[in-house]
Amino acid sequence: MERLWAPWRLEYITQEKSGGCIFCEKPLAEDDRANYLLLRGDHAFVLLNAFPYNNGHLMVAPYAHLSELDELPHETLVEMMQLCQETTLALKLALHPDGFNVGFNLGAAAGAGIKDHLHLHVVPRWGGDTNFMPVLADVRVVPQSLERSWQELREAFRKVREGQ
């Protein structure tokens, strides 16, 4: 039997869960690094997914606790798409993906893990990321720690904002 070691996951597994909404709580906290928050806008923010589908899996979420796309005020919707655009640019700079999956999972039936606070997923993709591991072993390999991803992406967002 093959074993994949991921000792950094133990902290998540054993930590006490707040029961609150991460998209409401994380932006209120003062430590963006600890919360993997990468960029703050006026109406929305960008953060790393703590349980990524792929390395560099980011989410764009509004500060407002809303579950329906048609509930978003126009300025929030526009800013979310602007942040999504900056997110793809930052990911290109930092990780050089071959493509992206971008989208909302609205409602539990659509696969939303957190259905009460809508958020936009931006998942970088590479030609080889759909290899034998998920197909045969139902295991996904994420080759970089969240901390290292946060450091590299924070710098990439700075460059995007500065127009580099």
Residue 85 · residue 160 · CB < 8 Å: no
CA 71 to centroid of chain Cα atoms: 22
Give the whole-angstrom CA distance, residue 76 versus residue 89: 20
Query: Is 96 assigned a catalytic role?
Result: no
Question: Edge-to-edge strand order for the sheet containing 99-104?
Answer: 37-40, 44-48, 58-62, 120-125, 99-104
Give the whole-angstrom CA distance, residue 148 versus residue 31: 16
Catalytic residue among 43, 57, 119, 121: 119
Give the whole-angstrom CA distance, residue 75 versus residue 34: 28
- Report the sign of the C-alpha dihedral through residues 107, 124, 17, 44, in that order: negative
Which amino acids are annotated catalytic?
119
